[in-house]
Amino acid sequence: MNAEIISVGTEILMGQITNTNARYLSEKLASLGVDVYFQTTVGDNFERLKQALSIAFSRSNMVILTGGLGPTGDDITKEAAASYFDMPLYLNDEALAAIEKYFQKLNRKMTKNNEKQAMFPKEAIILPNDNGTAPGCIMEKGDKAAILLPGPPNEMVPMFEKYVIPYLKEKSRDVIYSKVLRFIGIGEAALEERLSDLLESQTNPTLALYAKEGEVTVRVSAKAKDENEAKKLVEDMCGVLISRCPDEFYAYGDDNSLVKVVCKALMERNLSISTAESCTGGLLGQNITSIPGASQIFSQGIITYSNSAKMQYLGVREETLKTHGAVSCECAKEMAQGMRRISNSDISVAITGIAGPSGGTAEKPVGLVYISLAHKNGVCVKKFNFSGSREKIRNYAVLNALNLVREYLNGTLDKQGEKLLNKNKCSVWRIFIWRIKRLKKKAQLTKRMLY
């Protein structure tokens, strides 16, 4: 099966936004075994869109369109597709009721021009929109099908997953089964090297590596006559991949993420976490609380951006800041320990570093970040030298803070640190493991910290 993607929107042609929809759809279609040979972007122009549809349908029987389903006169995707198929549009009462309901939920009145969004050909399959006013639809004629989806990714993605994937699976003859493996703490090139023999000899299943900021995913896809056969091919290959990188593999799944995996593990073990952030300024807290139900494991975090805040809230000693500076192993350690004391959480993670673009020195360059984890038996710190933009450095810091928690939970904190340092030439290494020996000082320290 093959398909084409048409992205509709003058804002894409003007370069005001990046076309992330085409990428998302292409990736999903590839994983479903649907080949995409062309992507086209066209503006909000009736004639040009009809022309693009006609070209696309001359090459493929299925065209997926995004954008142009809004309520204004500019939005012409549905009208152009219906005109291409020669299908008149009618007001669909069910779709109209759904739009009205959406407005009620927002406590706003529906305007007359939203009615346009409820106009569909009689034959169309309507795809409800749970996150906006624009329903999507599938128009079929003969062996041709146009799938119309809204432009905003937060509306398009859920609609595609809920309604279009089942539709596509039903259409396909071969069964495709695929699984995504997620790795952290290893670069794309290093992973490619470790898997080079598998990558070179791949036929079925196929392997596709993809590097995102700070992590690498591998998609394993197999085609077979039935699902069991395809599944077996994929599972066997997954086993081999994981055996090559047992410490770096952290989860399966396309929409999984390190923060999800870590939060889930904390929830399962009933462990609480708190955060003390300097250079990331709340990004770690934000990541943890992006997970629904985070309140089970997270009750508090402190953003101590200034030195005085580090002393005021976390009890970092003035001497430490004077001798070692705020971006130091010692400060990170005291931040994590201080946070754990005041929050009474099982684990506290602290991040301090230089995110740039300025503020770096020869001794402490931009990208230098210390991440510390305090737990019931002690505290450890890792030193990182990240490179890239301020945003990238902050993202890497948070990802590696989460990875530290993962390693702690897996009991691989020691092993991993040394391994990365010695074998993979990774810029990530572990410096110290401290044991808190004088727990008796806790009460005193707490007092000092609060004033």
Closest CB to a second copy among residues 186, 294: 294
d(CA 149, CA 125): 12
Shortest Cβ distance from residue 93 to a second copy (Å)? 23
Quick one: tokens of 434? 């401290």
Residue 217 contacts a second copy per CB under 8 A: yes
List the interface residues with a second copy, window 233-252 (CB under 8 A). Answer: none
Residue 411 contacts a second copy per CB under 8 A: no
Among 86, 108, 122, 437, contact with a second copy (rule: CB under 8 A)? 108
Residue 201 contacts a second copy per CB under 8 A: no
Among 92, 275, 337, 372, contact with a second copy (rule: CB under 8 A)? 275
Q: What is the DSSP letter of 124?
A: P
Quick one: tokens of 88? 């008149």
Closest CB to a second copy among residues 145, 326: 326
Closest CB to a second copy among residues 52, 138: 52
Shortest Cβ distance from residue 10 to a second copy (Å)? 7
Closest CB to a second copy among residues 57, 298: 298
Burial of 217 (0-12, 13-18, 19+ CB in 10 A): buried
Select from 21-29, 164-172, 316-324, 434-442 the region that touches a second copy (CB under 8 A).
Answer: 21-29
Residue 55 contacts a second copy per CB under 8 A: yes
Contact 56, 3 (CB under 8 A): no
Among 88, 166, 239, 292, contact with a second copy (rule: CB under 8 A)? 292
List the interface residues with a second copy, window 332-391 (CB under 8 A). Answer: 343, 356-358, 385, 387-391
Closest CB to a second copy among residues 121, 151: 151
Q: What is the DSSP letter of 387?
A: -
Shortest Cβ distance from residue 393 to a second copy (Å)? 11
Q: How far apart are the first and last CA of the chain?
A: 68
φ and ψ at residue 410, rounded to 5 degrees? -80, -10
* Geometric angle at alpha carbon 421, from 417 and 425, rounded to 5°: 140
Is the backbone peptide bond immediately before 152 cis, with ω within 30 degrees of 0?
Answer: no
Residue 425 contacts a second copy per CB under 8 A: yes
* Geometric angle at alpha carbon 317, from 312 and 319, rounded to 5°: 135
Among 53, 99, 181, 284, contact with a second copy (rule: CB under 8 A)? 284
Q: 381 forms bridges with which residues in the sheet? A: 372, 432
d(CA 432, CA 413): 11
Closest CA to 217 of 187, 260, 172, 175: 187
